Amino acid sequence: MNNLVIGQFVPGSGLLYRLDPRTKILMTVVYVFLLVFANNWATYLWAAGFLLVALLLTKQGLGLYWRGLKPILWLILFTVILQLLFSGGTPVLFQAGPVKVTQPGLQNALFVVVRFVLIVLMSTILTITTAPTAIASAIESLLKPLKAFRVPVAELALMLSIALRFVPLLMAETDKIMKAQKSRGMSFSNGSLVKRAKAVVPLLVPLFVGALQRALDLANAMEVRGFETAEGRTRYRELSYEREDTVAFFATLIFIFGFIWLSIR
C-alpha cells in the first residue's frame, strides 16, 4: 500500500507546488490528449523531455516515481503481451505455431509501454504536487461554464473532494485489516490463485462495511451542521494565477507546437 504513489499528496517546495492547480490540471489534460496522437519516436522523446523537466521541478527524488510505477508493472507487461500477440503485419520476427511476433506488433508494444509510463508519471506529478482540496476547487472553477446548463458543479466538486479525502483513509484501513488478518494466520501471497482470491474476501467485507459506516457518519455530521448545498460557499484559500502560471502556460504552448511539428514532419 505504501508503494501506491499516484493519488497521494507529498509536501514539497518545488516550482510546480507553487503553480495554480487549474494550470496543472490543464497541462496534464493537454499532455495526455496529445500523447494519444503520438505516432513516431520523435514525438515520444519530445514528450519524455517535457516530463523530465516537470519531474525535476518537483524537487522529489526519481526513486519516488519509480516506486509508484512498480505496482503497475504487471499491467504494463500484460498490455505488451497483447500487443505482441495480436498485432498483425509484416515482416515476421518470430513465429512458433500460431503465435507470431511482427515488427509492427513490436513497435506498437513499445509505443504502448512508453505512452502508459508517461501518462502515469504525469498524473502522479499532478497528485503529488497538488492537495486533494485544491484539485477539487480547481475542477469546480474550470467547470463553472457548465452552470449555464444547470449542471450542479459545486455538488460535483464537493463529491470529488470527499472521494479524494477518503482514498488515504481507505488505504490505511486496508493496511490495518490486512495486518489483523495476518496476525490470525491469514496469508495473501501463498497458495494457488484460487486460494489467494478467496483470502481477499475477509479483507473486502470489513473494508466495505467500514467505508459505508464512514460515509454514514459523514452524512450525519454534515446534516447536524445544517449543510444544505455547496453553492455559494466561501473558501479559506482563493485560487489566483501568478507569474509562474504564465511561464507554465507558454512552456505548454511550446510543447504543443513542437509536438505538432514533430508529428507532421
Considering the domain architecture, whether residues 183 and 201 belong to the same structural domain is answered as yes
Considering the domain architecture, whether residues 209 and 241 belong to the same structural domain is answered as no
Considering the domain architecture, whether residues 228 and 254 belong to the same structural domain is answered as no
Considering the domain architecture, whether residues 195 and 257 belong to the same structural domain is answered as no
Structure confidence at residue 79 (pLDDT): 82
Considering the domain architecture, whether residues 6 and 43 belong to the same structural domain is answered as yes
Considering the domain architecture, whether residues 20 and 91 belong to the same structural domain is answered as yes
28 neighbors 250 (Cβ within 8 angstroms): no
**pTM for the model:** 0.78
102 found inside a domain: yes
Considering the domain architecture, whether residues 163 and 243 belong to the same structural domain is answered as no
Within 10 angstroms of residue 158's Cβ, the number of other Cβ atoms is 19
Structure confidence at residue 256 (pLDDT): 95
CA distances 226 to 133, 219, 229, 230, Å, are 21, 11, 9, 12
Residues of the chain scoring pLDDT < 70 = 1-7, 88-89, 97, 188, 191, 229-236
Considering the domain architecture, whether residues 99 and 161 belong to the same structural domain is answered as no
Distance from C-alpha of 22 to C-alpha of 3, rounded to nearest angstrom = 27
pLDDT digits (tens, 9 = 90+) for 56-77: 999 888 888 887 787 778 888 8
CA distances 125 to 113, 164, 196, Å, are 18, 16, 33
Considering the domain architecture, whether residues 219 and 258 belong to the same structural domain is answered as no
Q: In this structure, is the dihedral angle defined by the CA atoms of residues 138, 141, 146 and 152, taken in order, positive or negative? A: positive
4 found inside a domain: yes
Distance from C-alpha of 209 to C-alpha of 173, rounded to nearest angstrom = 11
Range of the domain at 205: 152-233
Closest by Cα among 12, 16, 8 to 53: 16
Q: Residue 227 carries which side chain, given as an amino acid letter?
A: F
Structure confidence at residue 82 (pLDDT): 80
Considering the domain architecture, whether residues 111 and 50 belong to the same structural domain is answered as yes
The count of structural domains within the chain is 2
36-51 b/e (C-beta count within 10 Å ≥ 16 → b)? eebeeeebbebbeebb
Structure confidence at residue 248 (pLDDT): 92
Considering the domain architecture, whether residues 26 and 108 belong to the same structural domain is answered as yes
Distance from C-alpha of 100 to C-alpha of 94, rounded to nearest angstrom = 5
Structure confidence at residue 251 (pLDDT): 94
Q: In this structure, is the dihedral angle defined by the CA atoms of residues 20, 21, 26 and 31, taken in order, positive or negative? A: positive
143 found inside a domain: no
DSSP string, 37-88: T--SHHHHHHHHHHHHHHHHHTT--HHHHHHHHGGGHHHHHHHHHHHHHH--
Quickly tell me which residue has 455547496 as its cell: 230
pLDDT digits (tens, 9 = 90+) for 184-227: 777 767 767 777 777 777 788 888 888 889 889 988 988 888 77
Distance from C-alpha of 49 to C-alpha of 31, rounded to nearest angstrom = 12
Strand partners, 92: 102
142 found inside a domain: no
6-34 b/e (C-beta count within 10 Å ≥ 16 → b)? bbbbeeeebbbbebbbbbbbbbbeebeeb
